[in-house]
Structure 1
Amino acid sequence: MYLPVTVMTNVLTTNRLTLRPWRVEDASAALNVYGNAEVTRWLSPEMDQVPDETAMRLLLQQWIAEAARLRAPAGRWAIEHTADGQVIGGAILLPLPPGQEDLEVGWQLRPDLWGHGYATETTHALAAWAFDHDVYEVFAVVRPGNTRASSTVRNNGMHWVGETRKYFGLDLQVFRLRVADLDAAAPPSAGPPGRD
């Protein structure tokens, strides 16, 4: 069984995290993630390193407007550490181009918080949310060379599907997670999930 996820509208909570809609006032915390070259170098071509708080505020406004048009389970979330309310990253569940038929699960975390299981906890929460909305599989796309992300998605229970240029016109590795995979990947206890 996968990690317990509590859902309030489109706010998802796990043992340690709250995934909630972005707010414009999150700009400073978001810049600590999306203004960091270690994070953005692996993102899609549409996402460059954000240069300053003003640009981050504008990007958050775009994401908020986009999220209002998306149908559940798709969305964008701020990842908040529940204990202190600190925004530590962002997460997505978005239709992949060009056909919008595949749903991508993704996360971005502040580099100083890598390796604490937050990516796994986020992935499992988003996958559970998608599966509760009659989605049968979610995908992660990883650039070749991003060994950290490849390792993380495998630790999340995702299976390598192959390589493609279908998405974003880039060579990408594709990983898939289905309901049975999520059940098998769940930790046996309430302790922190695997490394990410």
Structure 2
Amino acid sequence: MIPTLTSRRLRLRPWTVDDADAAFEIYKHEEVARWLSPAMDAVRDPQEMRLVLQHWVAESHRSVQPTGRWAVELTEENRVLGGMTLLYLPPGGTDLEIGWQLSPEFWGHGYATEAGHALAHWALEYPGIDEVFAVVRPTNARGAATAKRIGMEWVGETDKYYDLQLQVYRVRAADLDQSLADQQYGADQHRPPQ
């Protein structure tokens, strides 16, 4: 079973089938789904979303940590605003990918960065996990910017995943710690002695 993770404003928790209406409000948007294809298209109605969630819940019961799918909710409001994934990339299943999807109404508030940082930090504390990847389509400027804000570095382009030309970003524990320090203190500000 995947754990619940928390950050300053957010809670990342396992999806449930009861989240179908909230999840539909995220995954119905073409602006969200177009970056998920070929893995997933825009969801047409709440019933279809319920079927997707049933699959995700069953998958999470079979998954081996640290992989999983999380609902992202605002802690103070208990309102689902997005989803996060930590799954092995095809075809070889050796590279661990972090992914994020937020409803467009929540874009631009730093939620994807905050949730991504929390999930990447948790994954990199897991034994045997040394790095986490994000793959982004070259035209997805918002996704690339979020990967960088999480603390990921661009490592190149490849067509090895999903038979698509994708930009690859990677984060390691030391990179993530530096990214968090920069967010807390500003890249040019004095940091406390370590």
**TM-score above 0.5:** yes
**2:181 is the alignment partner of 1:188:** no
Cα distance change of structure 1 residues 9 and 175 upon mapping to structure 2, 3 Å threshold: closer
What value does the CA root-mean-square deviation take over the aligned residues?
1.2
Can you list the C-alpha shifts for 1:10-32, whole angstroms capped at 9, x where unaligned?
Answer: 00011111100001010011011
Q: What is the alpha-carbon distance in structure 2 between the residues aligned to residue 44 and residue 184 of structure 1?
A: 32
Secondary structure, in 3 states, of the residue corresponding to 2:81? strand
Percentage of matched positions with identical amino acids: 57
**Across the two proteins, how many residue pairs are aligned to each other?**
182
Secondary structure, in 3 states, of the residue corresponding to 1:105? strand
**2:168 is the alignment partner of 1:174:** yes
Q: Which of the numbers 105, 129, 145 marks the counterpart of 1:112? A: 105
Maintained 8 Å contact 1:73/1:130: yes
Maintained 8 Å contact 1:156/1:185: yes
Q: What is the alpha-carbon distance in structure 2 between the residues aligned to residue 30 and residue 182 of structure 1?
A: 29
Q: Give the deviation of 1:102 after TM superposition.
A: 0.4
Can you list the C-alpha shifts for 1:81-127, whole angstroms capped at 9, x where unaligned?
Answer: 10010000000000000111000001100101101111111111111
Match of 2:63 in 1: 70
- Map of 1:160-171 to 2, 5 A cutoff? 160-171=154-165
**2:96 is the alignment partner of 1:96:** no
Counterpart code for 1:105: I
Q: Give the deviation of 1:129 after TM superposition.
A: 1.1
Moved over 6 A (4+): none
Q: What is the alpha-carbon distance in structure 2 between the residues aligned to residue 70 and residue 133 of structure 1?
A: 15
Match of 2:44 in 1: 51
**2:136 is the alignment partner of 1:142:** yes
Q: What is the alpha-carbon distance in structure 1 between the residues aligned to residue 52 and residue 167 of structure 2?
A: 27
**2:157 is the alignment partner of 1:156:** no
Q: What is the alpha-carbon distance in structure 1 between the residues aligned to residue 125 and residue 143 of structure 2?
A: 25
Higher RCO (CA < 8 A, seq sep 6+): 1
Maintained 8 Å contact 1:12/1:19: yes
Secondary structure, in 3 states, of the residue corresponding to 1:188? helix
Counterpart code for 1:98: P
Q: What is the alpha-carbon distance in structure 1 between the residues aligned to residue 64 and residue 51 of structure 2?
A: 22
Name which one, 1 or 2, has greater alpha-carbon Rg: 2
Q: What is the alpha-carbon distance in structure 2 between the residues aligned to residue 13 and residue 21 of structure 1?
A: 12
Identify unmatched segments of 5+ residues in structure 1.
Answer: 1-7, 190-196
The alignment's TM-score, normalised by the length of structure 2, stands at 0.91
**2:18 is the alignment partner of 1:22:** no
